[in-house]
């Protein structure tokens, strides 16, 4: 089955530590890839996206992700996390719908807690 896998379900880091969250997908062909973040009590927000071009994508708040086609991966990174990065992070792949349009297929999410 086509899927998106996030291997780390819960991550706890100290402030200033480096972050890498894994994401693998099982689709072939062209994919559009996204990372969304959900801060406590808030709605899902787009962190960054990859459609084409440079496989290293920079997003908001110092986050970046690297698309590695050969590994079917789109890992999220941040060199130095802050307490305010505590949130749940979702990787997603956009796929075409048969009748037209596109949908997002999400991973199960990674809950990140940053401790002071």
Partner 1 sequence: GAGVSQSPRYKVAKRGQDVALRCDPISGHVSLFWYQQALGQGPEFLTYFQNEAQLDKSGLPSDRFFAERPEGSVSTLKIQRTQQEDSAVYLCASSLKRTGADEAFFGQGTRLTVV
The residue within the footprint of partner 1, chosen from 2, 14, 26, 45 (CB under 8 A), is 45
In the complex, the smallest distance separating the C-beta of residue 48 from partner 1, rounded to whole angstroms, is 10
C-alpha 88/C-alpha 37 separation (Å) is 6
Rounded to the nearest angstrom, the gap between the alpha carbon of residue 28 and the centroid of all alpha carbons in its chain is 18
Rounded to the nearest angstrom, the gap between the alpha carbon of residue 71 and the centroid of all alpha carbons in its chain is 15
The residue within the footprint of partner 1, chosen from 49, 62, 66, 72 (CB under 8 A), is 49
Q: Which of 36, 29, 8 is nearest to 105 (CA)?
A: 36
When asked if residue 30 is in the footprint of partner 1 (CB under 8 A), the reply is no
The residue within the footprint of partner 1, chosen from 32, 62, 66, 72 (CB under 8 A), is 32
Hey, which residues between 53 and 92 contact partner 1 (CB under 8 A)? 90, 92
In the complex, the smallest distance separating the C-beta of residue 32 from partner 1, rounded to whole angstroms, is 7
In the complex, the smallest distance separating the C-beta of residue 34 from partner 1, rounded to whole angstroms, is 8
When asked if residue 105 is in the footprint of partner 1 (CB under 8 A), the reply is yes
According to DSSP, the β-strands at 10-14 and 110-115 are parallel
Rounded to the nearest angstrom, the gap between the alpha carbon of residue 100 and the centroid of all alpha carbons in its chain is 25
C-alpha 68/C-alpha 61 separation (Å) is 22
Indicate the residue among 28 and 99 with the shorter CB distance to partner 1: 99
């Amino acid at each position: 089955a086509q899927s998106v896998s996030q291997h780390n379900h819960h991550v706890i880091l100290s402030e200033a530590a480096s972050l890498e969250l894994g994401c693998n997908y099982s689709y072939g062909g062209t994919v559009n890839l996204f990372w969304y973040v959900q801060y406590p009590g808030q709605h899902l927000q787009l962190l960054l996206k990859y459609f084409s071009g440079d496989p290293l994508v920079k997003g908001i708040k110092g986050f970046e992700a690297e698309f590695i086609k050969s590994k079917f991966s789109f890992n999220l990174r941040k060199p130095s996390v802050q307490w305010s990065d505590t949130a749940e992070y979702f990787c997603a792949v956009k796929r075409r719908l048969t009748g037209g349009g596109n949908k997002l297929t999400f991973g199960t999410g990674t809950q990140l807690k940053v401790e002071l």
